[in-house]
Amino acid sequence: MSVEHAQVTRADFDQVMVPSYAPAAFIPVRGEGSRVWDQSGRELIDFAGGIAVSALGHAHPVLVKALTEQAGKLWHVSNAFTNEPALRLAYKLIEATFAERVFLANSGAEANEAAFKLARRYAHDVYGPEKFEIIAATNSFHGRTLFTVTVGGQPKYSDGFGPKIEGISHVPFNDLAALKAAISDKTCAVVLEPVQGEGGVLPAEQAYLQGVRQLCDEHNALLVFDEVQCGMGRSGELFAYMNYAVTPDILTSAKSLGGGFPIGAMLTTAEIAAHLSVGTHGTTYGGNPLASAVAGAVLDVINTPQVLAGVKAKHLRFTAKLAQIGEQYGVFREVRGLGLLLGAVLADAWQGKAKVLLDAAAAEGVMVLMAGPEVVRFAPSLIITDADIDEGLARFERAVAKMTQG
């Protein structure tokens, strides 16, 4: 780094970065637990969790140890060789879920890309080339590659990039009749988030997921659950499908899986996995020893009765206070979500004001997210302390008070 760039500020972003993001006015430089400090030394409580990624907060000692120990041993060998952390991680994922085989990637989009390609490949091999259609949900989000953004049900993200991937359609979420009308023997997969994250923190209904499973079985379509955002303990179970007792054929994970280190995973059965034979799919970094070592440690910490029960208890603490804030200031129509993926839906009078509230919250010292212009989203560490929840929500309440009192 040249001397003149030793000091960088938010203003530099506009000089050197592609303008596809509009980051906050401050730059975080350090984190510990659920607290973050910016360049000026100002402390903030983190209810954003890096968009449902920092599942164990910042600088968790177990993760720091896993990363630094692996960093001193072996960083990378490519998939021309396997490696011990990746194999250990795969065993842990298999032991904890329905899955029998794992494909490791670097992100949620890549895990989904693998899932969608596998679903098509499986249908192609078993039923023939006509069976390639994918049905997904309106308002869903599955990533930003051209395939995943096309499967995602938000045209604002997929329009304007030329021809889209063919054979993809969308039906309203939680509407079984709509899926029933759309599904056919040409459908190779139905793709759903058990809790829609970006689409507004909207959990699936029990009867809906059960009905979807049945329709998939009737039409020999694979059921793909995208648990990139709602998985890895965030729902109060290790994976959200466990709340519903509806088992997918393919499941994708990322975000919290690495606790902040980039990794993604696609989980499936041995029978389906067999169709990704040697050479059909791959990635240079996926299952990299550093990422796998960290994810293995994340899984060990999260997949315990104490942490998962803690998520459910913290859910109640959050929702009780958010309900009180909503009522007192008339700002929320509804507080919804599972575990520690929560959405406060703005009341009509505050429509479209999620960003205003997010900025007001940051000014009071608490980082929150939005999920569309109508929903303030909370995705904190799964092990956030009650004291940090209370303090963060007190700051949030001050932001609400300021916004509503003009």
* Selected range binding ligand PLP among 104-112, 240-248, 276-284, 384-392, rule: CB under 6 A: 104-112
Stretch of 191-199, 212-220, 277-285, 347-355 contacting ligand PLP, by CB under 6 A: 191-199
| C-alpha–C-alpha distance, residues 182 and 199, integer Å | 21
Q: Report if residue 31 touches ligand PLP, rule: CB under 6 A.
A: no
Among 34, 54, 97, 107, binds ligand PLP (CB under 6 A): 107
Does 55 participate in binding ligand PLP (rule CB under 6 A)? no
Residue of the chain from 93, 109, 263, 371 that contacts ligand PLP (CB under 6 A): 109
Q: Which tokens in the block code for residue 309?
A: 């029960």
Of 164-172, 192-200, 306-314, 356-364, which part binds ligand PLP (CB under 6 A)?
192-200
Residue 254 binding ligand PLP, by CB under 6 A: yes
Q: According to the binding rule CB under 6 A, does residue 139 interact with ligand PLP?
A: no
Q: What distance in Å separates the CA atoms of residue 105 and residue 52, rounded to the nearest whole number? A: 18
Q: What are phi and psi of 18, to 5 degrees?
A: -55, 135
Interacting residue with ligand PLP among 33, 50, 85, 143 (CB under 6 A): 143
Distance in Å, CB of 277 to ligand PLP, minimum: 25
The residue number with the shortest CB distance to ligand PLP is 108
By CB under 6 A, tell whether 198 contacts ligand PLP.
yes
Alpha-carbon distance values, 157 to 81, 199, 344, 368 (Å): 36, 12, 23, 22
Q: Which is nearer to ligand PLP, 198 or 397 (CB)?
A: 198
Contact present, 264 and 253 (Cβ < 8 Å): yes
* Residue among 107 and 139 whose Cβ is closer to ligand PLP: 107
**CB 144 to ligand PLP: min, Å:** 6
Residue 131 near ligand PLP by CB under 6 A? no
Binding piece for ligand PLP, criterion CB under 6 A, among 75-83, 85-93, 103-111, 332-340? 103-111
141 sits near ligand PLP (criterion: CB under 6 A)? yes
Number of residues in contact with ligand PLP, rule: CB under 6 A? 15
Q: Does 229 bind ligand PLP (CB under 6 A)?
A: yes
Q: Is 228 in the site for ligand PLP (CB under 6 A)?
A: yes
Residues that bind ligand PLP (CB under 6 A): 51, 107-109, 112, 141-143, 193, 197-198, 226, 228-229, 254
